[in-house]
Amino acid sequence: MTPPLPPATRRTILGGAAASSLLWIPPATAAAPPQGVHLTYGADPRRQMAVSWSTPASVRRPRLEVGVDRSLGRVVDVDSRSSKDVRSVYHHARIGGLRPGTTYRYRIEHGGATGATAASGTFRTAPEKPEAFRFAAFGDMGVNAAAAAHVALIRQQEPDFSFVVGDLCYADSSGGTGVGGPDTQDFAEWDRWLRQIQPSARSTPWMTTVGNHEMETGNGELGYAGYLDRFSLPRNGVDGAPVTYSFVYGNVGFIALDGNDASYEIDRNADYLGVDQDRWLVGQLATMRARADLDFVVVGFHNCMFCTNLVHGSDGGNRDRWEPIFDRFSVDLVVNGHNHCYERTHPVRDGAPVVEAPRGAVVDSRHGTTYLTAGGAGQAVYPVGGQALSYVTIAGGARVPEATTWSSVTDAQHSIGFVDVTPRDRAGVARMRLTALATDGSVIDRVTLRRSSRTGE
């Protein structure tokens, strides 16, 4: 007698870093409402957007419809991925050919064993020409009450997008050190985190980077598989490093680096890209600085280049690799996390402050780079920094004491950075105003970076 056939199954080809393998996706078992809906821009935020979401199990015919009015009308293909140690399935719809400065409606729809389920939302593409906009900047969020309060604060402040510098959900609490093994892992934390951010991320993109806690033990060679399964990032980064990318919004170029590749402090992924990432960075900066329509460049990665906080101090690896490059191209703002606190430097050039920039200052950012530690987005905060003497981790891991004359403002409270960008005024001066808000919305710090488009000013 012929044995019965196994039940019908479905397989899907993975995208992102795990594209080389096939993973089993469990069959649809029940109606599964979309969860953790979040947006990311493509490489061109004027014309490209990705909508991502998860379901508790596999679903039938996942699809996304998008359009400028209630009739929607355009159906977009969906790429579905499974991920390590969870039954959740992650769905990604990359949308191209959008119109700049336009509000779109979208609707997620799919079937389950007990019927169709759906979710809907809206998003807005970046404007064709520079106009005033706001972005949020922060890292080190986790799943906790402070993080949830910050999501509400971000919604209230209505940024156009968030720039998130790693240590997202802490599904692997060993933080790239490998200490603790499976006991330190709970990959369901990703779903809790995505549900936590959905109230903001379903309508404004969250542009994320990797921190040391995205190096998950046993989850791909670099540990990034869990992150890449859940995000649909711009595909214009370093070859072999889909966690890196760049995009332009208005008059600002944004570059997301993999700080783990350059860290001396936590060297799990150190130098897996090496000179390739540095060359890509130089190419991106050269291109951005050659564009007449761009005023500012913002670079984001996780590890601190300049921070007095004694928990992690500053990372000499990131300095050795990138500080000369940032100086050469006069990068305006570097956003880091990792130290769970707030800190802002004076404008720095060649490792030293070039001008005083106390709270409320207006500074010409051509003279130096402002380094921001925005690691207070939710995880337990570290004791206050601001020490006159801190340390930098050098090659081999030794901590070398150093004076911290470059530090301007430190604060140990939880906080979120908000940056208001305005295009050039009649005098040709563009501005980025950084405001750091505590959880209750009170102002911790404020500074304005200005840059003139006219030579000699």
62/211 with CB nearer Fe ion: 211
Q: Binding marks (x or -) toward Fe ion, 138..167, rule CB under 5 A?
A: --x--------------------------x
148/354 with CB nearer Fe ion: 148
Half-sphere exposure of 110 (CA within 13 A, CB side): 33
User: Rule CB under 5 A: is residue 216 a binding residue for Fe ion?
Assistant: no
Binding span for Fe ion by CB under 5 A among 4-12, 99-107, 337-345, 442-450: 337-345
CB-based closest residue to Fe ion? 167
Q: Count interface residues toward Fe ion (CB under 5 A).
A: 5
140/411 with CB nearer Fe ion: 140
User: Rule CB under 5 A: is residue 323 a binding residue for Fe ion?
Assistant: no
Binding span for Fe ion by CB under 5 A among 37-45, 97-105, 137-145, 418-426: 137-145
38/338 with CB nearer Fe ion: 338
130/376 with CB nearer Fe ion: 376
55/212 with CB nearer Fe ion: 212
Residue 456 is encoded by which pair of tokens?
A: 């000699």
112/211 with CB nearer Fe ion: 211
> What amino acid occupies position 68?
V
Q: State the minimum distance, in angstroms, from the CB of residue 53 to Fe ion.
A: 26
Do 56 and 39 contact (CB within 8 A), yes or no? no
Pairing verdict, β 245-249 and 407-411 = unpaired
140/267 with CB nearer Fe ion: 140
Q: Binding marks (x or -) toward Fe ion, 166..195, rule CB under 5 A?
A: -x----------------------------
Binding span for Fe ion by CB under 5 A among 209-217, 321-329, 347-355, 364-372: 209-217
212/308 with CB nearer Fe ion: 212
Q: State the minimum distance, in angstroms, from the CB of residue 254 to Fe ion.
A: 20
Q: State the minimum distance, in angstroms, from the CB of residue 397 to Fe ion.
A: 16
User: Rule CB under 5 A: is residue 211 a binding residue for Fe ion?
Assistant: yes
Who contacts 145 (Cβ-Cβ below 8 Å, separation ≥6)? none
Among residues 58, 212, 251, 345, the one that binds Fe ion under rule CB under 5 A:
212
Among residues 47, 338, 349, 451, the one that binds Fe ion under rule CB under 5 A:
338
Q: State the minimum distance, in angstroms, from the CB of residue 139 to Fe ion.
A: 7
Binding span for Fe ion by CB under 5 A among 197-205, 332-340, 350-358, 421-429: 332-340
Pairing verdict, β 103-112 and 115-124 = antiparallel
Q: State the minimum distance, in angstroms, from the CB of residue 167 to Fe ion.
A: 3
Binding span for Fe ion by CB under 5 A among 201-209, 238-246, 331-339, 433-441: 331-339
83/212 with CB nearer Fe ion: 212
For the chain, give the secondary structure using H, E and C.
CCCCCCCCCEEEECCHHHCCCEEEECCCCCCCCCEEEEEEECCCCCCCEEEEEEECCCCEEEEEEEECCCCCCEEECCEEECCCCCCCEEEEEEECCCCCCCEEEEEEEEEECCEEEEEEEEEECCCCCCCCEEEEEECCCCCCHHHHHHHHHHHHHCCCEEEECCCCCCCECCCCCCCCHHHHECCHHHHHHHHHHHHHHCCCCEEECCCHHHCCCCCCCCCCHHHHHHCCCCCCCCCCCCCCEEEEECCEEEEECCHHHHCCCCCCCCCCCCHHHHHHHHHHHHHHHHCCCCCEEEEECCCCCCCCCCCCCEEHHHHHHHHHHHHHCCCCEEEECCCCCEEEECCEECCEECCCCCCCCEEECCCCEEEEEECCCCCCCCCCCCCCEEEEECCCCCEEEEECCCEEEEECCCEEEEEEEECCCCCCEEEEEEEEEECCCCEEEEEEEEEECCCCC
Residues interacting with Fe ion, by CB under 5 A?
140, 167, 211-212, 338
